[in-house]
Structures are given as C-alpha cells and as structure tokens.
Amino acid sequence: MVLAKHTCADILNVYSFFAENEISIRALALKSGPNERPADNFILSEKEITEALCALFDENFKRGMPIRIDPLSGYFESILLKMCGLKSKIFDRRLDGDSVIIVNTGGDLYMRRDAYEPEKSFGIIGDINGSFLSNGAYLQSLETDDNLRKRFCLNCNHMGSCTTTPILEDNIDRTERHCAIAKEVMDHIESTRSEEHTSELQSPVRS
C-alpha cells in the first residue's frame, strides 16, 4: 500500500479492506520519484507520512492486530522487546539480503534511500544472475549502512531493540534527522503503549 497525497485521506478505508480479508500488507511512503513524474502531486511531507503511519498502527492495534503491516509490525516488535528489556538482532544486508529494491522506469536498481540518483544505481532489472552484488556501488552501499549505524544509531533511544532497518529507508541528504519518520512512529508506539500499561496497573482490582 503506497502512502501518497492521493491515497492518504482514505488510508483507514484501504486498511479495512485488507484487515477484513486478513491480508498482510507493506506500507510504503512515497518520498521521491523519477524526474519524469510530477512529484509534487504525490509526495507527502515527513509530518504527513508520520501521522498516517501512526493512525494506521493505532487502528490495527485497536482491532487486535488482525494483520501484519510492515514496517509498523517490526516497529511494534522492537518496542515490545525494549519494554521487556530484550535486544533485537541487527539487520545486516550482507547476511539477510535486501527486503526492498527500487526499480526505476528504465530498469535501474536502487536502495530505497538512494532512489533515482543515477550515480548510486547498482544494477539493472535484467541482471538476473545477481552480479550487481559484487559491483562497487552495491558494496559501497553496505559500507554506508555501517557508517550510518555508527553516526545515528548508537545515540538513538531505540538502539538495542531496533533492528536498524530504518537506515535503509531515509536519505540523509533529504532530511535533517536521519530515521526521522521511523523514530517518530516508534516513539508514538512506545508512548501510547506505556500509557495503556500504566493505566492497567493503576486500575482497581475487582474481586
């Protein structure tokens, strides 16, 4: 499910269709696009994306989490681990592979955070033998993962419970705060779940 200006207003109605049919989904926020497309007609601001994802999580939680919504379900799992004092496995593309690859209209392949920057393309869609995995651009993207973890993740309040996958999604050159959207959504999940937990503990015990 794509979060964009033309879909955001109906996001909960779209969610209801999938929830009622028990179909798990991935929520992909439209942050950029190819130069051939009038991006201003579709792209949302960070604030709009964050609000939409928070609303989507709240609705799914209210209904008892009937379906998995990526990346929200992953964020929720990280918060549960944090609340229990447990740690998560760090997501490493060298071992775990790529969960999402952007394909441009010309067939060029990109990491999500590098989408539509020609110099950062690491292959073409016809490269079915996977030789792009050993080219310079792809190997450089793996080093960038490591550098971003050192720069941003080490001081994050979710370090340890977060898998660090948000560093694969946001381009640091396009935002003042790396992982801005993921962190805001995870903060929202943690805050609302902590408030509910506190409320339950303070509720009088009925005999």
Per-residue pLDDT, 30: 75
Confidence of residue 194 (pLDDT cuts 50, 70, 90): confident
Tell me the C-alpha distance between 67 and 76, whole Å. Answer: 13
pLDDT in tens, 47-94: 898 999 999 999 999 999 999 999 999 999 999 999 999 999 999 999
H-type alpha helices, the chain: 11-20, 46-62, 72-83, 93-96, 136-152, 180-202
Let me know if 109 is exposed, middle or buried by CB neighbors in 10 A (0-12, 13-18, 19+).
buried
Distance CA 200, CA 205 (A): 10
- What confidence score (pLDDT) does residue 196 get? 65
pTM: 0.80
Residue 40 has pLDDT above 80, yes or no: no
How many angstroms separate the CA atoms of 114 and 118, rounded? 9
